[in-house]
Chain A
């Protein structure tokens, strides 16, 4: 059996477990980002007021960001704990170890793809204009997958070696949510902070998801930044994982 076979089985199993015994099944995938988006839409459209941040229709703007963030958040959390949670299988089944990490990212990635039809529905309801730049979405997907793999390959061994990685991660992820242009756009960031925002690879990735809906004249810089930084994180992850694999196997 190829590595891809094992990968497919593990991704499928994760999805099976997620939906086993649930009534709403697939709709849970939609419900979480929809509820989040609805709340932010309400708060920023009616309470904070002013159509000053992001783009219109704001609900669509929010959804593009929140859907990819939901994947990011879920995949980072799950992949970081993957080796700990699957420890018994890691101890008994000899498949390449990185598969345990990557499968969490794949499973959450599939949930993300399955949630994308919401964007179609909302853009039809909101009568949004789209352009050929929608073709950036597959590229964004690939870059985000690479980025998440790198992060997972670093965090999963760390979590085995020090369990409180999970606690720190939870705080960091919540901070990152507000520091990433999700509920606001890159153009809302004051100019002096923009370069720093580009250093966050999710900035460019979300810009790519949004490119087909809103024409962004400054698209190249965030894309270049996100691709380069994601690649660096991926390579770092691969090297780090290889280096600590031996000690991790003794500890799981």
Chain B
């Protein structure tokens, strides 16, 4: 089987006392403070491989580096140590509505987000109708997205990214979005994509999602990979540490 994601000795460090939005005054006049300084490793010595067609669930408590790891695989964060090789294109279900521009219409946004994810114009033409239909925004195609409800936006975002047709799908929690009916549609679409032989890498807390889709499990604990095995092994370890999963 061919390896599509190869993670070698990944390490990422963050600064411990780093405030967001700090000012130049703080840069120049470094105040003395007593809290621990320096860096901490959010992830370290992470090694694993994912084969084509596998469905891998990544779990761990909050702040254990799950999203960080996913972002490294998606290529939107660079590791400080080690390397990641991803063979094949990636459809990242991360920040689903982040790519939508509120002043532009749904039509323009579809072109924009699909285009940035590498869908060619001729491909988009073929898929445009199905994206619109799936997102259920047909009546609002020429409405600026700022008038959309948050549910409509997330449906649109989900529909675009799951239509990219790349061999690897990365999901950060949002495996299914919107209301109950739309969630069912999302599950069906994810199943479809898996049946087409795509590789799934899913970050989730939800036991239902993990059990439904994944066969392999990775469990992150304190920035290192505690379990790299079957889904059941990873789930058991996670449940033992956290006392049950939330659904």
A9–B21 contact, CB under 8 A? Answer: no
Chain B residue at minimal CB-CB distance from A89: B99
Interface string of B118-144 (1 = CB under 8 A from A): 111000000000000000000000001
Q: Return the CB mask of B198-238 against A: 1 if under 8 Å, else 0.
A: 00000000000000000000000000000000000000000
CA distance A168 to B92 in the complex (A): 37
Whether a CB of chain B sits under 8 angstroms from the CB of A95 is yes
- Inter-subunit contact B76/A94 (CB<8 Å): yes
Residue of B nearest to A90 (CB): B76
* A6, B99: Cα distance in complex, Å: 14
Which of the residues A93, A249, A251 comes within 8 Å of B20, measured between beta carbons? A251
Q: A92 to B97, alpha carbons, bound, how many Å?
A: 10
Among A158-166, A189-197, A199-207, the stretch that binds chain B is A158-166
**CB distance B77 to A249 under 8 Å?**
yes
- CB atoms of A92 and B77 under 8 A apart: no
- B residues 93-107 near A (Cβ < 8 Å) are 94-95, 98-99, 101, 103-104
Given contacts A1-B120, A20-B104, A94-B76, A162 and B22 within 8 Å (CB-CB) = yes
Q: How far is the CB of A94 from chain B (nearest CB, A)?
A: 4
Residue B75 is within 8 A (CB to CB) of chain A in the complex: yes
* A89 x B98 contact (CB < 8 A): yes
Min distance, Cβ B106 to any Cβ of chain A, angstroms: 13
A88 and B76 CA atoms in complex are apart in Å by: 11
How many A-B residue pairs lie within 8 Å, measured between CB atoms?
81
B116 touches A93 (CB 8 A): yes
Q: Cβ of B52 < 8 Å from any Cβ of A? A: no
A6 & B116 in contact (Cβ 8 Å cutoff): yes
A63 to B88, CA, bound (A): 50
Complex-state Cα separation, A250 to B108, whole angstroms: 30
* Known pairs A9-B115, A16-B108, A21-B103; A93 contacts B22 (CB<8 A): no
Residue contact A162 to B23, C-beta cutoff 8 Å: yes
With beta carbons under 8 angstroms apart, the residue of B20, B76, B104 that contacts A13 is B104
For residue B192, CB closer than 8 A to chain A, the reply is: no
Cα A168 to Cα B28 in complex, Å, equals 15
Interface residues of chain B: helix, strand, loop or mixed (majority): loop
CB neighbours (8 Å) of A249 from chain B are: 76-78
Q: Is the CB of B104 within 8 A of A93?
A: no
In the complex, A94→B76 CA distance in Å?
5
Residue pair A91, B76 in contact (C-beta under 8 Å): yes
- Smallest CB–CB gap between B142 and chain A, Å? 11
Cβ of A251: which chain B residues have Cβ within 8 Å of it? 18, 20
Residues on A with beta carbons closer than 8 Å to the beta carbon of B24: 162, 164-165, 168
Nearest opposing residue in chain A for B77, CB measure:
A249
B115 x A94 contact (CB < 8 A): no
Distance in Å: Cβ of B69 to nearest Cβ of chain A:
14
Complex: how many Å from CA A20 to CA B23? 34
Query: What are the residues of chain A within 8 A of B18 when measuring CB–CB?
Result: 251
Does B180 touch A at the CB level, under 8 Å?
A: no
Indicate if A216 sits at the interface (CB-CB under 8 A).
no
Q: Choose among A9, A91, A168 the residue that contacts B71 (Cβ–Cβ < 8 A).
A: A91
Known interface pairs A5-B115, A162-B24, A245-B78. Does A88 touch B108 (Cβ–Cβ under 8 Å)?
no
The answer to whether the Cβ of A132 comes within 8 Å of any Cβ in the partner chain is no
Nearest Cβ distance between residue B72 and chain A, in whole angstroms?
10
Return A14 CB to nearest CB of chain B, in Å. Answer: 10
Task: Name the residue among A88, A94, A251 with the largest chain B CB count within 10 angstroms.
Answer: A94
Is the CB–CB distance between B77 and A17 below 8 Å? no
**Cβ A17 vs Cβ B95 within 8 A:** no
B110 within 8 A of A: no
In contact, B103 and A20 (Cβ under 8 angstroms): yes
Interface of chain A residues 129 through 157 with chain B (CB within 8 A):
none
User: B55-90: which residues lie under 8 A (CB-CB) from chain A?
Assistant: 71, 74-78, 80, 90
Whether the Cβ atoms of B99 and A88 lie closer than 8 Å is yes
| With A91-B76, A91-B98, A93-B76 already in contact, 14 other A-B pairs whose C-beta atoms are closer than 8 Å | A1-B120, A5-B115, A9-B115, A13-B101, A13-B104, A20-B103, A20-B144, A88-B98, A92-B92, A93-B99, A161-B27, A162-B22, A168-B24, A249-B78
30 contacts between A and B (CB under 8 A): A1-B115, A1-B118, A9-B111, A9-B112, A13-B104, A13-B108, A13-B112, A20-B103, A20-B144, A21-B103, A21-B144, A89-B95, A89-B116, A91-B71, A91-B76, A92-B99, A95-B116, A161-B27, A162-B22, A162-B24, A163-B22, A163-B23, A164-B24, A164-B25, A168-B24, A249-B78, A250-B12, A250-B77, A251-B18, A251-B20
